[in-house]
Amino acid sequence: MHKLRLLLLAVAIVLAGCSGASEEFDVPPAAAGLAQPDNLSWWSRAAMDAYMRVSAWRGERSGYIALFARDGVVIHGDAAGWKDIAGRQPMTLDTQVRIASMTKPVTAVAAMILVEEGRLGLDDPVAKYLPEYAGVRVASSHEPGPDGAFPTRAPAVEMQVRHLLMFASGTGPGMQASPLQEHWAANGLHQQASGGLRERVAALAELPLFEDPGTRWRYGVSADLLAAVIQEVTGQIIGDFMRERIFGPLGMTATRYEPPADERDGMATVYTQDADGELVAARTHYDPAWNPGGGGLVSTVSDYMRFALMLWNGGEYQGVRILQQASVDQMTRLHVPEGVLASGGPDGSGGVDGVGWGLGMAVVADAEASAMPDRDGDFWWSGYYGTTFFVSPSTGLVGVIMTQNEPGQYSGINYQAYIVQGLAFGGL
């Protein structure tokens, strides 16, 4: 990381012709009366400006959007590259993008609203709301038996709502290759031919869990089950509840689940790389006929900044309280100390060093061990298409960074947003 910072500093000096000037943004401070904080350093802003433009020019990504706040006040915004390359439409701070897994923290906030109101309990059995899960079984082996079926046993503990928020429900498919993982992947939410969220989630109860609930963090459908629970409690589609209780009160006017194809003119095109490394439009596979809890939202950097500032400010934004401080504290403390994004064997080895999990989002447990540009206690999450947000309580820095690139065989992981994040931290 030290060498990376020196390299980025050198790039900033070489490309000193970039102004680092901020584009105009329309995001009020987290609360009235906040003092105007210092901006990021000039070299940091210039380096971000240079990196995003050069990366877009080289075709690594079609474009970038970034917005940063400090001590509750937005201080810098920048956009570079193209919203749509063929149409020569530039990326702007109000470009709508698919945020994929950045939907998950929103679903978690929706659940915590119901917890505060006493309509949902963290210790409630999931089967109270989704009766199919009363008979769920745990795989005693991730390899099928001679008959092709996976041997199973009863779970040692009942799956609870808190396990869904912890991403420790035992549901898959996870990131560890095994026959059970393949079985889950072949029968997942998006592989089912039809049905809304409730019907799709019910079908998953037939699949064996990977481990006992509460045992370990696993990437899977926990947020989708949580959305189905929210729908059962409220009687509303999850997108309607989010709009009524989160998006509307926060002024997130551009945030919604992905609309039908004929209503997507305001959205950025998602790209990927072909065999020659050239950007080509990707096929997105989201079905707007149903709203999952783990993905599917479309937003802008300005809208998501309002959401992030609400969390930074203990659940309140511009005098509108979404959650109590105690609920935000509960969400952003470590509930799972390690194993986030583990891609090792079935034993759960591996994961992102230094990163644990709260309720609905990642929490930095050990910044020294982490390869990310972060501080202890930071909380964050990212999306499949190269979007990320972070809140750094110790520094007061909040950021939302978005690209639109589907990782694939020829494009690799979406690390570009983390470089921009590192440049922002370097400018404190």
284 falls in which pLDDT band (50, 70, 90)?
confident
Residue 211, C-beta contacts closer than 8 angstroms, at least 6 positions apart: 138, 170, 218, 348
The residue length of the chain stands at 428
16 falls in which pLDDT band (50, 70, 90)?
very low
Q: What is the mean pLDDT of the chain?
A: 92
Q: What is d(CA 150, CA 410) in angstroms, rounded to the nearest whole number?
A: 35
345 falls in which pLDDT band (50, 70, 90)?
low
Kindly state the average pLDDT of the residues 250-256.
97
Amino acid identity, residue 11? V
Kindly state the average pLDDT of the residues 192-201.
90
1 falls in which pLDDT band (50, 70, 90)?
low
Q: Over the stretch 55-75, which tens digit does the pLDDT of each residue have?
A: 999 999 999 999 999 999 999
Cis peptide before 173 (omega within 30 of 0): yes
Residue 293, C-beta contacts closer than 8 angstroms, at least 6 positions apart: 103, 104, 107, 197, 223, 224, 225, 226, 227, 228, 230, 238
Helices (H) and strands (E) in the chain, counts: 12, 17
What DSSP string describes 120-153?
S-TTSBGGGT-GGGGG--EES-SS--TTSPPPEE
Which among 90-99, 183-192, 412-421 has the top mean pLDDT? 90-99
pLDDT for 23: 76
- What fold is seen in the domain 2-110+235-426? Beta-lactamase (3.40.710)
Tell me the pTM. Answer: 0.94
Which residue, 52, 58, 99, is CA-closest to 77? 52
pLDDT for 13: 47
Question: Under a CB-based contact definition with an 8 Å cutoff, are residues 108 and 226 in contact?
Answer: yes
The total of other beta-carbon atoms located within 10 Å of residue 275's CB is 8
Q: What is d(CA 96, CA 253) in angstroms, rounded to the nearest whole number?
A: 11
What DSSP string describes 42-75?
HHHHHHHHHHHHHHHHHTS-SEEEEEEEETTEEE
Judged by DSSP in three states, 87 sits in coil
Kindly state the average pLDDT of the residues 266-273.
94
Kindly state the average pLDDT of the residues 410-423.
89
Kindly state the average pLDDT of the residues 337-363.
82
CA angle 159, 160, 164 (to 5 degrees): 95
- Indicate the range of 36-40, 299-303, 339-343, 379-383 predicted with least confidence: 339-343
pLDDT at 388 over 50: yes
- Indicate the range of 142-146, 289-293, 386-390 predicted with least confidence: 289-293
pLDDT at 414 over 60: yes
pLDDT at 201 over 50: yes
The CA distances from residue 102 to 40, 229, 298, 357, in Å, are: 25, 19, 10, 14
Kindly state the average pLDDT of the residues 244-270.
93
CA angle 159, 163, 166 (to 5 degrees): 165
The total of other beta-carbon atoms located within 10 Å of residue 14's CB is 10
Angle between helices 197-204 and 222-234 (to 10 degrees): 130
The first and second tokens of residue 174, run together, are 């996870």
Kindly state the average pLDDT of the residues 258-287.
88
pLDDT at 10 over 60: no
Kindly state the average pLDDT of the residues 83-88.
96
Beta bridge partners of 129: none
Handedness of CA 93, 279, 266, 299 (dihedral sign): negative
The CA distances from residue 44 to 3, 41, 368, 382, 389, in Å, are: 16, 5, 22, 22, 18
pLDDT for 3: 45
pLDDT for 412: 77
pLDDT at 410 over 80: no
353 falls in which pLDDT band (50, 70, 90)?
very high
Q: What is d(CA 311, CA 109) in angstroms, rounded to the nearest whole number?
A: 9
